[in-house]
Chain A
């Protein structure tokens, strides 16, 4: 089955700096890669996603890049703000289409 790794496990940045989180996946048939943000005690919220037919997607300060050959994808947050502090999970959807496999998460702290 699919296996998703995520790095780093914790990340601290100064407000205004950029943050990058990287994930790798094992199943070359996976074709959908969402990123979720989860604040303490809250539900995971989808912040951006990318499909395997696209190499990059951007939404304001957030962007995701996908390298299918290397089987890795990355989340880029620019001009970070304290409210960006949360745990971020990447995920990969297997070819069956229903099973999301999540990465272990990255705790991002944006220091004012």
Chain B
């Protein structure tokens, strides 16, 4: 299996809702990433997990809460988001210390 999967594909939520994004890979990768991509912009790194431990947090607001429950799963918990948080959220994975990152298809999030 050489794929990163993400659910849901689309998510619409209100500013008071709590929701979660899910990412899964079965390539044995021990580094996993969350990126945010606004329209016509490049992906921007949010979080990096290495061996299930948070290693990079790019000053992301606390309304985004990542979680890595095991080596195959990565979650992003969302609470009290703002309309400007609407974007495509991409998950990626790689071997720790190796270069190539594999991206999932993304979750398109709309915050009303």
Contact = CB atoms under 8 A, between A and B. Distances in A.
Contacts of B90: 43-44
Given A49-B99, A98-B31, A99-B56, A43 B104 contact: yes
**How many B residues are at the interface, by size bracket?**
20 to 34
Interface in B88-112: 90, 97, 99-106
Contacts of A46: 100-102
**How many A residues are at the interface, by size bracket?**
20 to 34
B99 A98 contact: no
Nearest to A32: B99
Interface stretch (B38-46, B64-72, B77-85): B38-46
Interface stretch (A13-21, A56-64, A70-78, A102-110): A102-110
Contact of A34 (B41, B45, B100): B100
Interface string A28-62: 00001010100000111110010100000000000
25 contacts: A34-B100, A34-B101, A42-B105, A43-B103, A43-B104, A43-B105, A43-B106, A44-B90, A44-B103, A46-B101, A46-B102, A49-B100, A51-B99, A93-B99, A97-B97, A98-B31, A98-B33, A98-B50, A99-B48, A99-B56, A100-B43, A101-B45, A102-B43, A104-B42, A105-B41
Interface of A: 32, 34, 36, 42-46, 49, 51, 89, 93, 97-105
